[in-house]
Amino acid sequence: MMTTWWCRISRSVLITLWLGLLMAGAPPAALGGNVLAVYPHFGFSHFKVVMPILNELARRGHNLTVISYVKHPQAEQWPNYEQLLISQPGEDQSSTTINLVPLTEHTPTRSLGTLFREYYSLHSEGQKTCERLYASGHVETVFKRHQTQPYDLLLTEYFNSDCQLALAKLMNLPIIGLSTCALMPYYYDRIDLPDTPSFIQSEFVGFAGALSWDERLVNFIQAKVLKLLYRYHSNRADNALVSRHLGIEVDVDEVARTQTAFIFGNQHYSLMGSRPQSLQFVEVGGVHLTSQAAQELPANIAQFIDQSEVPIIFFSWGSMVRISSIDEDKLAAIVEALERQPLRVIWKWEAEEKPKLDADKFLFVKWAPQLALLCHPKVELFWAHGGLLGTTESVHCGKPMLVTPIYGDQFLNAFSVQNRGMGLKLDYQDISVKNVSEALKTLSNPNYATRSVGISKIFSERQNSPLESAVWCVEHVIQHGLLAAEMLQSPGIELKWYVYHSLDSVCLIIVVLLALAYSLYHFSSGRPSKPYNNNRRRKSKRS
């Protein structure tokens, strides 16, 4: 009896073990996920960072529903990619040339006043984007879809609003946020990423080198105040907007803290600097550098380069800045300084009317395949505005930069380039023949090229490519859902700030030390016993 019972048990154990081994050895079940991606921001340069990730997910067979402002040029090629556009067909901004910001709007200083104004304009932009998202009718569409074919994950952008996180709340989805610029300071706490303002600069500022005492003060104030503003101003507006459109009460900040699994940052330490990390923060800087991005040069550009016996400087202030709005005197100064140099110039210029200059030396192009140009061996210098994509491309190709930041994160990026010895920052208002000539002379020092090439190698040499890292995270979350988020989350995010920084313990220790110091002082210098003894002695003498 005993033996048969034991045999039966051991046989079932063996079968279980055998089944377990069989399953471990077998290839994992094909994991197809249903991904909801919401990217309502209008900037094409933002969507450009997201597209390679969406492309790869579609290629791997996941079902994608993508609510976006920007039309994906290749969306139709996949049956499993559903595109829900927020923009009207006529205002599709999928061209690379947007040219929204005239140069007269550049923000020359990074004072506290400027950065609060910048916060406010980002906030208003975010609210407008949210209104359009909820007015588009696509939110209802995806809710309906979720009833029959549930989504596994919300992919979205962490930039200037969180109203879209209500979807994650209602469908109970884990979230992966993507920051297309340096992560905004108000998102650090969500994933317990230290903001350490004594040396970490945020998107809103930008300082040369190590921070001086007054810079640290400004950096501290912006890091802390922007967090409070975002939470109690922007997020409240998001909650009110959601309540208005969906009739439900949601705290988007809480949703973000409890349901975010990862945040992808479009940055890399070789450019933005090393810093304490969080498991939930994944650096994907360079994810937009796909093989598609390295297109061939158009014939006229290739010919101009081939015929050149001197190095070439590529001049482009990106797709958002309208270069034709440059002030006459600045243009004249740039041209005069460049004419004196043994250089040829390829200049991105979006307007029909171009400056009349020596066509052997200056080539004006409306559009250029930037990556192919920057990686061309004859292109030796990039005069950029410090947009993160162009800066990243230049780091990838290992080319020194002259950076003239105009607005937003461009100042931070310009300082990053300068601080790492890959180039120089030249402010727009400082452009003069003398200053440009001096900058070009300094940059002709081979140290800049050597450093740029060295850093480029470190930038490119990673354990996993940025795209592989991003896709691994997405599939990890598809497979494990909110449990993945729960395992990743730091317990620190739920603590009160004074507990997090152990200020309660520090206070208690200080109080005890003070009490100890006081009593020591009291016993050693107060000496209440001596006069008493003297009195006693005196008394005894008298007696």
Ligand X SMILES: *[C@@H]1O[C@H](CO)[C@@H](O)[C@H](O)[C@H]1NC(C)=O
Residues 6-35 that bind ligand X (CB under 6 A): 32-34
Q: In this complex, which beta carbon is closest to ligand X, that of residue 256 or of residue 337? A: 337
Site string for ligand X, 37-66 (x = CB under 6 A): --------------------------x---
Compute the distance between CA of residue 264 and CA of residue 158 in angstroms, rounded to an integer.
9
Nearest approach, Cβ of residue 29 and ligand X (Å): 11
Instruction: Provide the strand spans (E) within 70-161.
Output: 81-85, 101-102, 153-157
Q: Which of 435, 437, 460, 490 binds ligand X (CB under 6 A)?
A: 435
Is residue 185 within 8 A of residue 283, CB to CB? The reply is no
Residue 270 vs 404, nearer CB to ligand X: 404
User: Which of 365, 369, 177 is closest to 266 using CA atoms?
Assistant: 177
To the nearest 10°, the Cα dihedral for 247, 253, 257, 258? -20
Find out whether 195 and 280 touch, Cβ atoms under 8 Å.
no
Query: Per CB under 6 A, does 432 bind ligand X?
Result: yes
Question: In 355-493, which residue ranges form alpha helices assigned H by DSSP?
Answer: 370-375, 388-397, 410-419, 433-443, 446-460, 466-488
- Minimum distance from CB of 55 to ligand X (Å)? 17
430 binding ligand X? (CB under 6 A) = yes
3-state helix, strand, coil in the chain (%, to 5): 55, 10, 35
Which part of the chain contacts ligand X (CB under 6 A), choosing from 288-296, 317-325, 349-357, 428-436?
Answer: 428-436
Residue with tokens 């019972």: 5
Angstrom distance (rounded) from CA 399 to CA 381:
6
> Which residue, among 79, 74, 124, 108, has the nearest Cα to 94 in the 3D structure?
74
Work out how close the CB of 432 gets to ligand X at its nearest, in angstroms, rounded to a whole number: 3
**418 near ligand X, rule: CB under 6 A:** no
Alpha-carbon gap, residue 161 to 38, rounded angstroms: 12
Q: Closest separation between CB of residue 18 and ligand X, Å?
A: 29
Among 149, 274, 291, 529, binds ligand X (CB under 6 A): 149
Nearer to ligand X, 145 or 236 (CB): 145
Choice between 295 and 429, CB closer to ligand X: 429
CA 277, CA 475: separation in Å to the nearest integer? 22
Residues 6+ apart with CB under 8 A from 331: 355
Site for ligand X in 271-300 (CB under 6 A): none
User: Which among 68-76, 231-239, 399-407, 427-435 is the span making contact with ligand X, rule CB under 6 A?
Assistant: 427-435
C-beta closer to ligand X: residue 215 or 438: 438
Beta carbon nearer to ligand X, 308 or 435: 435
Q: How far is the CB of 434 from ligand X (least distance, A)?
A: 6
Minimum gap (Å) between residue 337 Cβ and ligand X: 12
Calpha distance 257→483 (Å, rounded): 14
Q: Using the 8-state DSSP alphabet, how is residue 203 labeled?
A: T
Distance CA 35, CA 67 (A): 11
Q: Which stretch binds ligand X (CB under 6 A): 287-295, 296-304, 358-366, 430-438?
A: 430-438
Judged by CB, which is closer to ligand X: 142, or 397? Answer: 142
- If the CB atoms of residues 93 and 435 are measured against ligand X, the closer one turns out to be 435
Closest separation in Å from C-beta 88 to ligand X? 27
By CB under 6 A, the count of residues binding ligand X is 8
Q: Which amino acid belongs to residue 389?
A: L
* Shortest reach from residue 84's CB to ligand X, in Å: 15
| Interaction site with ligand X (CB under 6 A) | 32-34, 63, 149, 430, 432, 435
